[in-house]
């Protein structure tokens, strides 16, 4: 999945229905509100609630920094 993929504008977290951010280096979508990472397997986002991986505080800060850096 690429950062300019139009699918990103309509994908939402299955738990809080909020937007997700692409983490291209991790091949995942991230919900910073719930600290959940959803894998992308063979280009297909795995958005089942059970697919979400809880991200610890240290990784959360690292991912937020990565997202801010990619936005600029």
Both tokens of 21, joined, read 């951010």
Banded pLDDT at 2 (limits 50, 70, 90): confident
Q: Give pTM, 2 decimals.
A: 0.89
Q: Which stretches within 12-56 are classed as H helix?
A: none
How far apart (Å, rounded) are the C-alpha atoms in residues 50 and 61? 23
How large is the average pLDDT for residues 56-69?
Answer: 92
* Each residue's pLDDT tens digit, 12-49: 999 999 999 999 888 999 999 999 999 999 999 999 99
28 HSE (CA, 13 A, CB side) = 18
């Amino acid at each position: 999945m690429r950062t300019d993929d139009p699918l990103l504008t309509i994908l939402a977290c299955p738990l809080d229905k909020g937007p997700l951010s692409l983490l291209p280096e991790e091949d995942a979508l991230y919900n910073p509100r719930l600290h959940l990472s959803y894998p992308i397997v063979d280009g297909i986002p795995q958005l089942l609630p059970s697919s979400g991986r809880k991200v610890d505080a240290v990784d959360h800060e690292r991912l937020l920094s990565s997202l801010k850096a990619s936005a600029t």
